[in-house]
Amino acid sequence: MRKSLFIVFIWQMTGVFAQQTPQYSQYLRNQFMVNPGAAGVYDFTDITMSGRWQWAGFGDEPRTAFLSVTAPLSRTKKIPYNPALRISNGPVRNPEIKTGKIKHAIGGTLVADQYGAFRKLQFSGTYAIHLPITKTYNMSFGARVGLSNNTFLADKAQVLNIVDPGQGYTDDTYDNFVKDQSSKFILDIGAGLYIYSNRSFFGISADQLTKDFVEFGTGTANFNNQIHLMVTGGYKIPLNENLSLTPAVLMKYMKPAPLTIDASLQLEYKEWLWTGITYRHKDAIVGMLGLNVNQRFKFGYSYDFSLSRFKNVSAGGHEIVLGIMLGR
């Protein structure tokens, strides 16, 4: 049998030794992306859509599409809904975060994530309960249950003959691996604790708690799901009546990968226009910019400048986020 190296095994190792869940640069504007306990923080229906392109120009680079919806099951005050689109006069401040009362919320997510020869489709539902600690702080517990469909795309797996470059190959191991395109559904359960006020937040969450204990489907690929732990925290510091600065951190851990840390600074003007910078340890520097377009829409963009070995073969990463606030 000829010796050959095929990219599918590289991606398999990526699944074992690196993050298996999507990475988001603008988590600070939507904590629900990383913590189900953050569902229902706002007293209106919050819809977030995002698209992310990592290592642009690399070829078969990781691409992620994200859609989430969260809504409280009851509101302290009924707000009339006007579907007409209005262009606001002047800055539109961030919505108020209300605390001090018990509330219940539901949410849902749909994620499509593709990296090389692997594609993951995930859909889930979330329930969260918010309990008052004081008049200004709430603590919420959230649980997410769903399914993820993991597919191996044989036509995107490159096979390189390292003995006779440019020649054909014969590799029984590879042939046996790809003869049945793998497509498996895996039970996906996550949970999170979230403590928050109008100025600060702290969260602990976990994804893929059941690993691949419950799975069904066809094929030979081993997706080897591992538990992911995440810790977030941040505090808004008023600088004057118009400006505020929010330092924040996101820590992610998946055994046996090393701990990764995102350290961020976000500057807000009149709680309307924001800009920020994030340092992702040994990976990237991220710049971001966003605003509340009006009472209904918010928009954000971020660019990842790679610091890793991929910086010489990629044009960085892009992430676009559109938020819709219904019933605000």
* CA nearest neighbour of 298 among 326, 276, 318: 326
For the cut 90, the answer to whether the pLDDT of residue 19 exceeds it is: no
Helices (H), the chain: 7-17, 172-178
pLDDT band at 249 (very low <50, low <70, confident <90, very high): very high
Residue 12: predicted pLDDT:
41
Q: Is the pLDDT of residue 105 over 90?
A: yes
> Is it the case that residue 128 has pLDDT exceeding 80?
yes
Among 187, 219, 43, 198, which residue's Cα sits nearest to residue 122? 187
200: helix, coil or strand? strand
Q: Taking a C-beta distance cutoff of 8 angstroms, is the pair 17, 174 a contact?
A: no
* Residues across the chain: 328
pLDDT of residue 57: 57
Q: How many beta carbons lie within 10 A of that of residue 105, not counting itself?
A: 26
**136-162, pLDDT tens digit by residue?**
999 999 999 999 887 777 666 666 655
26-70 confidence digits (pLDDT tens): 998 889 999 999 999 999 999 999 999 876 655 667 789 999 999
Q: Would residue 31 be called left, alpha or beta, if left means φ above 0 and alpha means ψ between -120 and 50 degrees?
A: alpha
**Taking the model in full, what pTM does it have?**
0.82
- Per-residue pLDDT, 301: 97
* pLDDT score at 17: 40
- Answer for the pair 54, 84: CB distance below 8 angstroms, yes or no: no
Quick one: pLDDT band at residue 99, thresholds 50, 70, 90?
Answer: very high
pLDDT for residue 81 is more than 70 = no
Whether residue 84 has pLDDT greater than 60: no
Q: What is the pLDDT of residue 4?
A: 38
Q: Using one digit for the tens of pLDDT, what is the confidence trace for 168-219? A: 555 665 666 666 556 778 899 999 999 999 999 999 999 989 887 788 777 6
CATH code, 4-326: 2.40.160.40
Q: Residue ranges per domain, the chain? A: 4-326
Using pLDDT thresholds of 50, 70 and 90, give the confidence band for residue 123.
Answer: very high
In sign, the C-alpha dihedral spanning 103, 104, 110, 114 is positive
